[in-house]
Homo-oligomer: A and B are copies of this chain.
Amino acid sequence: MSISFHIDCTRGQGRTGRLFTPHAEIETPVFMPVGTVASVKGVPQDTLEELGAQIILGNTYHLYLRPGVSTVRKLGGLHGFMAWRRAILTDSGGFQVFSLNELRKVTEEGVTFRSHLDGSSHFFSPESAMEAQIGLGADIIMAFDECTEYPADAARARASMEMTARWAARSKKYFEEHKNEVPWNQGPGARGQGSEASVNLWPLTPDPSSTQSLFGIVQGGMDRALRKESAERTIEIGFPGYAIGGLSVGEPRELTREIVESTLEHLPKDQPRYLMGVGTPEEIVEYANLGVDMMDCVLPTRAARHGLLFTSEGKVSIKQARYAQDAGPLDANCGCRVCQRYSRAYLRHLYASNEVLAQVLNTIHNLSFYLDTMRRVRHSISLGEESHSF
């Protein structure tokens, strides 16, 4: 078994469940911290474990460019490379190719793009994106899709959705033919050689007969009918889980919610549903209550680097002078190691002094807040209570 999903409780549209992957059992709904280049920026892996992160996300586009898939594969895949025992999900690279590349060229075959690091030219197709993700060896990988821009006219949204559907079929075909090439399935040499000491490092092997799981992605822009059609076509191809992509691309939040809610109606109730790239603490509560099982977002980590902290009493911009002599904790209701130890005055000082510890502590707190938020949502769904978004 490479993946299985059990729903434990439901309340309205929301549900709690457990997602079993080769490396970890994940309680859903789950928030997945983003570790773009195999690091959740500023946070050591043992701290992520303490925070209760059960699954993290890696970005295929970035990892493909640096350190490169072959290096990660040689080190045993992402799990061995970054010494992370729990689950990992990689995106397909599609979103970053579209968002970071103004000079990309899209054809039926795939996308030609330039590296944001050195300008070198590269090509992603459904097949090469699968090859990359198999080499990276995450537990869950994503079909290669085209993220439709916003706004897009009806013809463009349809054409884009249809190409995503064709790419989904190609993604699945390549994956099925190559899924046994996952690094953890490659025998004794799989987790890195080149050093006699490597055997001591990080024993990670899951069931060697297990493979990755490929999820499909629903596109269709902001058109409910197209979304429905995209869902139906993606389900027809058949995946163990489905994502809603192409949102949080500039549209108003009300529209995001409307599309999420209507798209969810067309996704199988007994399979995991992943909403990509959202959101604020309020939004992740809202979407979890609508029946989304998995979410990821750079917001908690990116905001932390800009001194924007999420608390039970709202957002705190820690750079403000009003906190310069504030001896209280950042969030009196938070049990994280930052709030248990440091004052707002100290966090403000670290930020104002441009100390690296500011990013470290701010990120730990924000992730703790997000993960706690999801814990509360799971708890309230399992109790049948309404969970409020602050």
Q: Which residues on A are within 8 Å of B, measured CB to CB?
A: 37-39, 41-46, 66-67, 71, 74-76, 80-83, 191-198, 200-202, 324-329, 332, 337, 341-346, 349-350, 352-353, 355-357, 359-361
Please tell me if the beta carbons of A332 and B192 are within 8 angstroms of each other in the complex: no
Which residues on B sit within 8 Å (CB–CB) of A197?
A: 328-329, 332
A66-B353, A83-B341 given; A325·B75 CB < 8 A: yes
Measured CB to CB, the closest approach of chain B to A234, in angstroms, equals 33
A192 to B346, CA, bound (A): 12
User: How many copies of this protein are present in the complex?
Assistant: 2
What are the 7 A-B residue pairs with the smallest beta carbon separation, nearest first?
Answer: A195-B328, A192-B327, A198-B327, A197-B328, A42-B356, A197-B332, A39-B357
Contacts of A38 in B (CB 8 A): 346, 349
Residues of B within 8 A of A344 (CB): 195
A102: min CB distance to chain B, Å: 22
A281 to B340, CA, bound (A): 35
Determine whether the beta carbon of B343 is less than 8 Å from that of A192.
yes
Given contacts A37-B349, A201-B343, 8 further A-B contacts (CB under 8 A): A39-B350, A44-B337, A67-B345, A71-B345, A80-B327, A83-B343, A197-B329, A200-B332
Closest approach, in angstroms, between the C-beta of A21 and any C-beta of chain B? 21
